[in-house]
A and B are shown apart, each in its own frame.
Chain A
Amino acid sequence: MRARTKFIIGGALVVGTVGYLMASGIKETGVYYLTPTELATKISTDHSFYNVGIKMGARVVKGSITRDVATQTITFRATDGTHTYPVIYHGLAPDTFTDEVDVVVEGRLQPDGTFRATTLLAKCGSRYEAVPRPNGQGTMPAT
């Protein structure tokens, strides 16, 4: 057999294995990334979504955060303007987590309608790109 043919066979084996790993990796670890509205639509048509890991991107409702430091539990309400879900999260919140920031929570929707999050990411795009407002203050909105 020519070396070139051997290389093609070996290469096909590598590529095939990786293709398989990627496909199964996506199947097993892939997570739906939904807005609260999309989640509400999905869940109303397909109840199996209660058993699926989901990432939900939403905004923290102002004043909805309660923190219990002793049990490290954080609850808040996450919304996209149309639908709102209460979220329960155990663990440490990132520094940027506060009222009205965009968050990505990963976890499962419970049959009682609360979202039990296992990870909580807060994103604050405005930290990088906000423009000073012409109110003479020129600083960020008060937090």
Chain B
Amino acid sequence: MTDIGNVALWITFFVALWASVVGFLAGRTHRPELARSAERSIFVMWGLLVIAAVALMRALLTHDFNVEYVAAYTSRNLPVFYTWSAFYAGQKGSLLLWALVVSTFGSVALLVNRGKYRELTPYVAGTIAIVVVFFVATMVFASNPFERLGFTPPDGRGLNPQLQNPGMVFHPPMLYLGYTSISVPFAFAVAALLSGRLDTGWLHAIRRWTLVSWLFLSCGIVLGMWWAYVELGWGGYWAWDPVENASFLPWLTMTAFLHSVMIQEKRGMLKKWNIGLVVLSFLLSIFGTFLTRSGVISSVHSFSQSNVGWFFLVFLVLAAVLGFGLLAWRWPMLQAEVKLESLVSREGSFLFNNLILIVIAFSVFWGTLFPVISEALRGTKVTVGPPFFNLVNVPLGLMLLLLTGIGPLIAWRRASPENLRRQFLWPVTALLVTAASLAAIRMSDWWSVVAYALGAFVVGTVVQEFVRGTLARHRLHGEMYPLAFVRLVGRNRRRYGGYVVHLGMVMLFAAFAGLAFKRETEVTLKPGQSVDVKSPYGWTYHITHQGVSQYEQLNRYVTAATVDVLRNGKYIGTMRSEKRQHLDSLGRPTFEPSTAVAIHSDAREDLYVVFAGAVQGTEEAVYRITINPLVWWVWYGGLVLALGGLITLWPGGQGPTAASRRRAEPAGYVAQVA
């Protein structure tokens, strides 16, 4: 079966080569039979990659340890659930998954746009094929998942215990889906540039794709945070690690694009910028993979160095030259149709939103690569860590939050003083009241006060938009309030979905600001001994060590330490944190011990207990106890974000097309609602 997979990969390689040549040829010559051939080749590629994926899956599930990849990442006693996830635990399988997903998205893009954008689709097929050529070439020439060993080990090495976590089953595919789906907008951008069809048509085709990509990436990032928090046991969810930063970079540029694309749709401005952002997002997604795979930057997450890094680097350079080269070539065709009339306008606020997102991306990029940059410039490696990223990004993030509140309130083109007064009254009141209340209760961290006040401002904006929209529908159509509300959202999904996303962002910011009040202590306790930990809310946790027990469970040997927890004298629960020594099928220890954290969570704060080890042979235990305020809001903020994205994406109900909206665009929300 793996031979079939291997052959499928090779055929994919040649089919993809053919599709890329014939796609570009079809685009130039407008010969329909060539275009059909390119399109069919994409579908064939997809079928072949499905066969390859099934072959690898089968090898994993049947424990074919003669296959190097299977032996390296699974073992007989690995639960089936995680045997699945071993598909992308290593580099080779990840590459296969990546190629499969790119071809899937490519096929879907060609299917849903059948008969539309006839001048673009051959180029789209060609570009997608090039991306697949790259991934498949990397596999067959450097990192083949079907490579066999010269012998058959009786058992595999097993999966890293840290990857045996539900978060790790869903987090990587989500990120991959986000990374790869940006290939479609990139392909459309290349197609638009090559064909010279640079009207807003191509934007339509890719806006939703970018949103899909953004949504997957957002979910992937939040799931990654969740995994880091519950599994790694260091007490946080974001460490500004290079691999985390790498996933954050394309998210920033895509977020920028999703906003600036509205300016192009409504006002015909920023054409070059938008294409630039699409190209940049694609490059950053490849860069993210490169960073994870190449070992250029050392990271706790990164896979060890391999020559695959060179494949990525070459591809990155080629894609950059292609994307930006085409952009430079078509520069004269991408002139803005109108000029910016006033900075106090929707466009103005979006311009600053884009500027800040890009500046954040730049600072994160610079900080992440600083070891490499400083070594090249000064000969010494200098690294920067969380203090650097926080110093730069906290003020920038707050400015962005401010703009999140301002943007929806200001009219397009030019806001009148009347418009400003009417729109800003309530949100600004919310801001001031929040700031005053927090000052009154003496919140000690000023950055947090600013964050919560701005958060209230954004919530005020969003609530006002929903309320006024519902009231307007009620007045104009005589609908009951609940119906008016549902129809309001249903008929303007993009707009109100966007607002829901903003609410999710406020929840995330609130959670991040809460980190200023994190408390951490390390204690050594004998059974029966206890420790008091003060919460930033003022109450006290009384934590009593109950003892240490040891037992075997599934594929591991567990040492568990238990504590009873009282909050202000009231029992709230018993928490058990574990040290796990994973075993292979012969019962021998494998991998280093891992930690299972005990977390007691509510909307206000998490009590996070890590059992660090027992004093030799006794039940005296070392604990690290962390109080993490508002972590709950990260996960629920992520959910709200995803919900908003889904509302925006849901098909139908998009109302008038962008083109017709652009023709007549009176300021104010009632006109849009009606």
Q: Name which residue of chain B comes closest to A3, CB basis.
A: B340
Contact of B429 with A by CB under 8 A: no
Contact of A140 with B by CB under 8 A: yes
Interface string of A45-67 (1 = CB under 8 A from B): 00000000001010000000000
Contact of B433 with A by CB under 8 A: no
Interface string of A1-29 (1 = CB under 8 A from B): 00110110011001101100110111011
Q: Is the CB of B381 within 8 A of A25?
A: no
Q: Is the CB of A131 within 8 A of B589?
A: no
Q: Is the CB of A11 within 8 A of B355?
A: yes
Given the complex, which residues of B lie within 8 Å of A110, measured CB to CB? none
Q: How far is the CA of A26 from the CA of B385 in the complex (A)?
A: 9
Q: Is the CB of A7 within 8 A of B371?
A: no
Q: How far is the CA of A138 from the CA of B72 in the complex (A)?
A: 9
A125's partner among B157, B303, B383, B590 (CB-CB below 8 A) is: B303
Contact of A43 with B by CB under 8 A: no
Q: How far is the CA of A59 from the CA of B253 in the complex (A)?
A: 38
A3's partner among B90, B91, B156, B343 (CB-CB below 8 A) is: B343
Q: How far is the CA of A26 from the CA of B339 in the complex (A)?
A: 38
Given the complex, which residues of B lie within 8 Å of A15, measured CB to CB? 355, 359
Contact of A116 with B by CB under 8 A: no
Given the complex, which residues of B lie within 8 Å of A96, measured CB to CB? 592
A28 to chain B minimum Cβ distance, whole angstroms, is: 8
Q: Which of B569-614 contact A (CB under 8 A)?
A: 584, 588-595, 610, 612-614
Given the complex, which residues of A lie within 8 Å of B589, measured CB to CB? 143
Q: How far is the CA of A95 from the CA of B381 in the complex (A)?
A: 27
Q: Which of A25-40 contact B (CB under 8 A)?
A: 25-26, 28-34, 38
Q: Name which residue of chain A comes closest to B295, CB basis.
A: A125
Q: Is the CB of A138 within 8 A of B153?
A: yes
Q: Is the CB of A32 within 8 A of B352?
A: no
B97 to chain A minimum Cβ distance, whole angstroms, is: 16
Q: Is the CB of A136 within 8 A of B382?
A: no
Q: How far is the CA of A132 from the CA of B150 in the complex (A)?
A: 11
B79 to chain A minimum Cβ distance, whole angstroms, is: 18
A92's partner among B304, B348, B367, B522 (CB-CB below 8 A) is: B522
Q: Is the CB of B149 within 8 A of A134?
A: yes
A26 to chain B minimum Cβ distance, whole angstroms, is: 6
Given the complex, which residues of B lie within 8 Å of A134, measured CB to CB? 149-151
Given the complex, which residues of B lie within 8 Å of A57, measured CB to CB? 298
Q: Is the CB of B391 within 8 A of A21?
A: yes
Q: How far is the CA of A142 from the CA of B346 in the complex (A)?
A: 63
Interface string of A89-131 (1 = CB under 8 A from B): 0011011111000001000000000000000010111111111
Kindly state the interface size class of chain A when it binds its partner.
Answer: 35 or more
Contact of B387 with A by CB under 8 A: yes
Q: Is the CB of B381 within 8 A of A33?
A: yes
> Given A136-B153, A139-B584, is A124 in contact with B592 using a C-beta cutoff of 8 Å?
yes
Kindly state the interface size class of chain B when it binds its partner.
Answer: 35 or more
Contact of B624 with A by CB under 8 A: yes
Q: Is the CB of A98 within 8 A of B392?
A: no
Given the complex, which residues of A lie within 8 Å of B613, measured CB to CB? 69, 92
Q: Is the CB of A126 within 8 A of B381?
A: no
Q: How far is the CA of A14 from the CA of B392 in the complex (A)?
A: 12
Contact of A137 with B by CB under 8 A: yes
B608 to chain A minimum Cβ distance, whole angstroms, is: 13
Q: Is the CB of A72 within 8 A of B522?
A: yes
Q: Which of B364-381 contact A (CB under 8 A)?
A: 366-367, 370-371, 374, 380-381
Given the complex, which residues of B lie within 8 Å of A72, measured CB to CB? 522, 524, 612, 622
With a 10 A CB-CB cut-off, give which of A121, A136, A140 has the most chain B CB atoms: A140
Q: How far is the CA of A121 from the CA of B239 in the complex (A)?
A: 13
A95's partner among B348, B370, B522, B592 (CB-CB below 8 A) is: B592
Q: Is the CB of B156 within 8 A of A125?
A: no
Q: Is the CB of A18 within 8 A of B382?
A: no
Q: Is the CB of B363 within 8 A of A22?
A: yes
Q: Is the CB of A138 within 8 A of B154?
A: yes
> Given A7-B343, A30-B384, A57-B298, is A14 in contact with B355 using a C-beta cutoff of 8 Å?
yes
Contact of B501 with A by CB under 8 A: no
Contact of B320 with A by CB under 8 A: no
Q: Is the CB of B383 within 8 A of A10?
A: no
With a 10 A CB-CB cut-off, give which of B341, B356, B391 has the most chain A CB atoms: B391
Q: Is the CB of B359 within 8 A of A14?
A: yes
Contact of B290 with A by CB under 8 A: no
Q: Is the CB of B304 within 8 A of A33?
A: no
Q: Name which residue of chain B comes closest to A138, CB basis.
A: B153
Q: How far is the CA of A136 from the CA of B150 in the complex (A)?
A: 11
Q: Name which residue of chain A comes closest to B389, CB basis.
A: A25
Q: Is the CB of A25 within 8 A of B387?
A: yes
Q: Name which residue of chain A comes closest to B614, CB basis.
A: A69
> Given A30-B383, A134-B150, is A129 in contact with B388 using a C-beta cutoff of 8 Å?
no
Interface string of B219-256 (1 = CB under 8 A from A): 00000000000000110000000000000000000000
Q: How far is the CA of A72 from the CA of B623 in the complex (A)?
A: 10
Given the complex, which residues of B lie within 8 Å of A24, measured CB to CB? 391
Given the complex, which residues of A lie within 8 Å of B370, measured CB to CB? 26, 30
Q: How far is the CA of A129 from the CA of B342 in the complex (A)?
A: 56
B88 to chain A minimum Cβ distance, whole angstroms, is: 12
> Given A92-B622, A95-B594, is A129 in contact with B382 using a C-beta cutoff of 8 Å?
no
Q: Is the CB of B622 within 8 A of A126?
A: no
> Given A30-B370, A138-B65, is A69 in contact with B524 using a C-beta cutoff of 8 Å?
yes
Q: Is the CB of A21 within 8 A of B392?
A: yes
Q: Is the CB of A29 within 8 A of B388?
A: yes
Q: Name which residue of chain A comes closest to B149, CB basis.
A: A132
Contact of B212 with A by CB under 8 A: no
B587 to chain A minimum Cβ distance, whole angstroms, is: 12
Q: Which of B384-421 contact A (CB under 8 A)?
A: 384-385, 387-388, 391-392, 395-396, 399
Contact of B555 with A by CB under 8 A: no
Given the complex, which residues of B lie within 8 Å of A139, measured CB to CB? 153, 155, 157-158, 584, 588, 590
Q: Is the CB of B359 within 8 A of A18?
A: yes
A31 to chain B minimum Cβ distance, whole angstroms, is: 5
Given the complex, which residues of B lie within 8 Å of A18, measured CB to CB? 359, 363, 392, 396
Contact of B64 with A by CB under 8 A: no
Q: How far is the CA of A18 from the CA of B384 in the complex (A)?
A: 16
Q: How far is the CA of A94 from the CA of B383 in the complex (A)?
A: 21
Q: Is the CB of B303 within 8 A of A31?
A: no
Given the complex, which residues of A lie within 8 Å of B300, measured CB to CB? 121, 123
Q: Is the CB of B522 within 8 A of A91?
A: yes
Q: How far is the CA of A38 from the CA of B380 in the complex (A)?
A: 9
> Given A18-B396, A69-B524, A125-B303, is A140 in contact with B591 using a C-beta cutoff of 8 Å?
yes
Closest 4 CB pairs of A and B: A138-B153, A125-B304, A33-B381, A29-B387
Known: A3-B348, A31-B382. 12 other contacts (CB 8 A): A3-B339, A14-B399, A17-B395, A18-B396, A25-B388, A30-B374, A34-B380, A92-B613, A125-B295, A127-B592, A132-B149, A143-B592
Of the A-B pairs whose beta carbons lie under 8 Å apart in the complex, a sample of 16, sorted by A's number, is A7-B351, A14-B355, A22-B366, A25-B392, A30-B388, A34-B381, A57-B298, A69-B622, A98-B592, A127-B591, A131-B72, A132-B71, A136-B151, A139-B158, A140-B591, A143-B589
